[in-house]
């Protein structure tokens, strides 16, 4: 236990430092802190106090009493605090309760702790009623574990399901071992088995650091993704990368229109005018060298938005022999930034168009409400993305294309836009079959239209 205590507090510190604004991660950090208090209590009882008793210089009555009270405090935090905070973590990590309901649940679930203070003499050395502890701590931990497992099982997003799986692998085994050895066994007077928690903690610590660096856990990653995104985004903000990328899309379109032979001058003129107007919008929105993604949210009529977008893309797709298939969806409005959503959709669309090399190419676009979230889907039958590269396509400056005109910034921009909308972008791809990109927005951003005139519910 001597080194388990700093290991657990290191986990708590890393979680709090890297994601201080996420409620679920904060409670996960508190869980590690409470577990560390338990290890610290054992160290004080088994190492510090015997040492002080044997030291004539340091073993004064006041010093010994101070350390005994620290032992009591850290022990209480572990015994009574850990089941409570782990339940709070599971609730926030797996549910979407309102702030008011979360407060009610938090205070209600704290009731057994108040009862324990009333029923337990708080004097060193403290004596616990482990059977009574088990009557509430056992259900708390069991409920929390069940919530985590159910959320992983129901998760539809592949990347998030993987992250939840790793989170469960790190949190559930040690909590289960703690439940059995520290509550169940001690309730039936089987002692000292809980000392093995120290070995389990070191396995957890090693796995936590590895996952934090390589894969991601509790929704965060160290170095490999989180810092790379942050540092790259700061570099982008001081340059004009977003501006360049948005301008590149329109300039490519204008260049293509200039070299196009057309028998419909009016259509040609309209498309050119639309591109010029969009360039003006780009310049107006990003003229301050992109201090950040400038969010201006409004209600977007999704069917109208998609129809206009496809109208802009129709001519270029037709010239490549690519069929556009629209599989609509419900009449909904989306609270979002239309400019950035359109630019994100355009980046995904251009990637889909460039990936199609076959004669009968097609791109499908559709939207739906799925498990409470709004999903806008773009599906192509292009060349697909190698499995080894799928994880990296949202990294800044990464590109699957070999030409110098591709900066590897488009999908990173999409990733950032979706993150600012509290959503995410999901990708599935198979070589020579095609790629499906899903823009997933949280349900709170959707309003269902009652009728075609746009009345809302």
Dihedral sign (CA 110, 114, 120, 126): positive
456, part of any domain: no
Tell me, yes or no, whether 263 and 179 share the same domain. Answer: no
Q: Note the pLDDT of residue 289.
A: 43
**Structural domain ending residue among the three candidates 222, 246, 268:** 222
Q: Note the pLDDT of residue 265.
A: 63
Q: Note the pLDDT of residue 9.
A: 83
Burial (CB < 10 A; 0-12, 13-18, 19+), residue 193, is: middle
Domain that residue 407 falls in = 230-448
Q: E strand or H helix at 79, and its extent?
A: none
Burial (CB < 10 A; 0-12, 13-18, 19+), residue 34, is: buried
CA 155 to chain centre: 12
**Structural domain ending residue among the three candidates 222, 248, 273:** 222
Task: Say which CATH number the domain at 323 has.
Answer: 3.30.565.10
Whole-angstrom Cα distance, residue 355 to residue 361? Answer: 10
Tell me, yes or no, whether 369 and 398 share the same domain. Answer: yes
Q: Comparing C-alpha atoms, which of 359, 357, 377 is closest to residue 369?
A: 377
Tell me, yes or no, whether 287 and 310 share the same domain. Answer: yes
Ranges in the chain, pLDDT < 70? 1-3, 20-21, 55-60, 156-160, 194-195, 198-199, 202, 205, 208-209, 211-269, 271-272, 275-276, 278-293, 396-408, 449-457
338, part of any domain: yes
Tell me, yes or no, whether 163 and 256 share the same domain. Answer: no
Q: Note the pLDDT of residue 392.
A: 74
Q: Note the pLDDT of residue 1.
A: 56
Which residues, 6 or more positions from 337, have their beta carbon under 8 angstroms from its beta carbon? 295, 296, 297, 298, 417, 420, 421
Which residues, 6 or more positions from 438, have their beta carbon under 8 angstroms from its beta carbon? 375, 376, 377, 425, 426, 427
**Structural domain ending residue among the three candidates 153, 188, 222:** 222
From the CB of residue 108, how many other CB atoms can be counted at a distance below 10 Å? 9
């Amino acid at each position: 236990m001597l080194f388990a205590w700093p290991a657990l507090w290191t986990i708590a510190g890393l979680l709090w430092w890297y994601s201080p604004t996420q409620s679920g991660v904060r409670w996960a950090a508190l869980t590690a802190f409470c577990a560390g208090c338990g290890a610290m209590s054992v160290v004080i009882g088994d190492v510090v106090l015997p040492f002080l008793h044997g030291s004539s210089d340091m073993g004064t009555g006041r010093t010994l009493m101070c350390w005994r009270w620290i032992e009591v405090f850290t022990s209480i935090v572990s015994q009574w605090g850990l089941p409570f905070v782990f339940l709070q973590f599971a609730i926030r990590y797996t549910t979407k309760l309102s702030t008011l309901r979360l407060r009610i649940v938090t205070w209600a679930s704290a009731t057994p702790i108040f009862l324990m203070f009333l029923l337990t003499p708080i004097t060193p050395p403290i004596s616990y009623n482990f059977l009574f502890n088990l009557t509430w701590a056992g259900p708390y931990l069991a409920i929390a574990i069940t919530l985590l497992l159910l959320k992983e099982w129901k998760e539809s997003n592949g990347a998030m399901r993987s992250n939840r799986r790793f989170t469960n692998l790190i949190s559930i085994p040690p909590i289960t071992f703690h439940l059995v050895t520290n509550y169940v066994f001690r309730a039936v007077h089987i002692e000292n088995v809980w000392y093995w928690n120290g070995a389990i903690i070191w396995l957890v610590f090693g796995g936590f650091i590895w996952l934090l660096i390589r894969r991601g856990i509790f929704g965060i990653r160290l170095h490999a993704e989180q810092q790379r995104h942050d540092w790259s985004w700061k570099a982008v903000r001081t340059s004009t990368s977003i501006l360049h990328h948005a301008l590149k899309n329109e300039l490519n379109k204008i260049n293509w229109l200039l070299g196009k032979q057309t028998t419909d001058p009016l259509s040609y003129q309209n498309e050119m005018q639309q591109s010029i107007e969009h360039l003006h919008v780009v310049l107006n929105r990003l003229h301050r060298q992109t201090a950040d993604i400038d969010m201006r949210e409004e209600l977007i009529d999704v069917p109208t938005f998609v129809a206009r977008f496809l109208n802009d893309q129709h001519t270029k797709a037709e010239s490549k022999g690519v069929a556009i298939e629209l599989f609509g969806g419900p009449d909904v409005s989306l609270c979002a930034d239309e400019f950035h959503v359109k630019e994100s959709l355009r980046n995904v669309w251009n990637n889909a168009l460039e990936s199609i090399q076959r004669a009968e190419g097609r791109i499908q676009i559709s939207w739906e409400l799925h498990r409470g979230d709004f999903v806008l889907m773009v599906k192509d039958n292009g060349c697909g993305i190698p499995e080894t590269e799928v994880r990296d396509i949202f990294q800044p400056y990464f590109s699957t294309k070999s030409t110098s005109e591709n900066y590897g910034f488009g999908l990173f921009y999409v990733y950032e836009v979706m993150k600012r909308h509290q959503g995410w972008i999901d990708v599935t791809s198979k070589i020579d079959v095609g790629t499906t990109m899903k823009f997933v927005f949280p349900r709170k951003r959707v309003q269902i239209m009652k009728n075609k005139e746009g009345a809302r519910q």
